[in-house]
Structure 1
């Protein structure tokens, strides 16, 4: 799989507060985590300062700013998890999508909260949590779907021009399906994709079904195809996403994963937290889907 991001979107920084932590909970967490909560660990430092720095790329519904508040799938889950770990506040910083990993490596923030797809190439540079969600792919087309584009094979057969996000894994899906580079157009943000379909610059815009259905709410004259699971070299691409940590933060990542598992193992809680953003029981990662396997080249 190529080392391409899935998404990128313009936005600005917003500050978000949280609940205060109960001291007894902190003690319980420290005992459960072992080294993760030890003196001098990253988690202990975050607890002492009372906040964790998170980066987002302002793409709804994964992580975005609205009316001065950080919202979306990733920030909502991460706020819940870090509160449980004794870190009551998320302090967000906006980054263009392509700058998320370089900024993390440079120490500008502690976690990427943007629903980033887990790929082998990224795993070489960072630490991923276990998957937070899985998301099939879809295509945005003009209302009525004049070219009858129902998937990538149909797009190739129709000679359709496909729009993809700059630095997005979807480009690899398109090329794997045999679509020529000449028929692929690169766009900077989701709204650019919707605009390109509307004005005829592309015949279809390729992105996760979750993203496109959200985008369609505010763009008339467009529709979204049924979701499908693309393949690369015969391997289905479920596009799992997760939180991203700097290398060397294994203890923090492991403590995060322990809390994440409590949420993904409880469908009712999962839907209660992020159902408003279009995530449901069908996007809960199966227990057999592991980051260690997704990170293998």
Structure 2
């Protein structure tokens, strides 16, 4: 998100990283270009006392963008992947309450830097542009691609290569990266149909205008959940490849520059959850997250910030 333009959910899908990339190149990039000062004051950030201050006051201020299934209101409750994980982690750190602030996705980082909240709890993607302004936790999830197909999967479609082999018509969101993934797998340009929003993909599928709708498995499972009576299903997720490189998208918690101590304490608790897939799915499975979304241990924020 470094300026309002790239700070949308589709920007989440525009980065890739090769597992096993050298960590030494990026060890300091998550905080490069950002001084260790308190937001709005210019005073040095006293990182050693930040977690102690949160414990003393009993709550952490979190910013979220009202985007299901990542962070949203469910009645009077703050729900979704990020708030659920973050609530568990901050409780373990001795901070029992999340106090939410709803804002536009594009204003989450500016709001964080302006000290409106202490952490962004919105499943935000980790990108080099954002790393130049803020610091991220280690990945909370990765986001494999999937295909939504008609019930029973009559065409037997499983990935982009199968779409190419069978001449299937594929729906993608406009400006999203799935079109590039499909092209790399051999799907012809004429077989790719651009759609404005997620619901349009499901509707086009039911109307037989497309044979499959490609998006992240997380988003497609949520779309199916919110259209329970629709005769569709979501095929098993997969990682597309471009030039032999698997494509990953990963999201995490976001902290102000200088909050390294708080971020590091957060990461230690996060590792206990991502290192136990049953616990991970038990916490956020109801939002469409599965073991396939558990980030591999070799995928590190330092690499994502350098990609």
Tell me the TM-score normalized by structure 2.
0.70
- Length, aligned pairs only: 264
**Corresponding residue number in structure 1 for 2:66:** 58
**Corresponding residue number in structure 1 for 2:255:** 245
Q: 2:173 aligns with which of 164, 175, 190?
A: 164
Q: Residues 213 and 111 from structure 1, CA distance in 2 versus in 1: closer, same or farther, beyond 3 angstroms?
A: same
Structural RMSD (CA): 3.3
Between 1:104-113 and 1:171-180, the stretch displaced more is: 171-180
1:132-155 deviation digits (Å, cap 9, x = unpaired):
122321122344556664323444
Tell me the TM-score normalized by structure 1.
0.72
2:146 and 2:220 in contact (8 A); partners too: yes
Distance 1:191 1:243 in 2: 28
- Runs of 5+ consecutive residues of structure 2 not aligned to the other structure: 1-5, 12-45
Instruction: Kindly state the Cα deviation for residue 200 of structure 1 after the two structures are TM-superposed.
Output: 5.8
Q: Residues 123 and 181 from structure 1, CA distance in 2 versus in 1: closer, same or farther, beyond 3 angstroms?
A: farther
Distance 1:181 1:99 in 2: 37
Instruction: Kindly state the Cα deviation for residue 59 of structure 1 after the two structures are TM-superposed.
Output: 3.5
1:213 and 1:224 in contact (8 A); partners too: yes
Q: Residues 98 and 154 from structure 1, CA distance in 2 versus in 1: closer, same or farther, beyond 3 angstroms?
A: farther
Instruction: Kindly state the Cα deviation for residue 97 of structure 1 after the two structures are TM-superposed.
Output: 3.7
1:145-167 deviation digits (Å, cap 9, x = unpaired):
5666432344456373522276x
1:72-118 deviation digits (Å, cap 9, x = unpaired):
22111100111222322212233444444444344443322222232
Distance 2:119 2:98 in 1: 10
1:109-148 pair list within 5 angstroms: 109-143=117-151, 145=153
Structure with bigger RCO (C-alpha 8 Å, 6+ apart): 2
Q: Residues 65 and 171 from structure 1, CA distance in 2 versus in 1: closer, same or farther, beyond 3 angstroms?
A: farther
Between 1:173-182 and 1:243-252, the stretch displaced more is: 173-182
Distance 2:168 2:215 in 1: 19
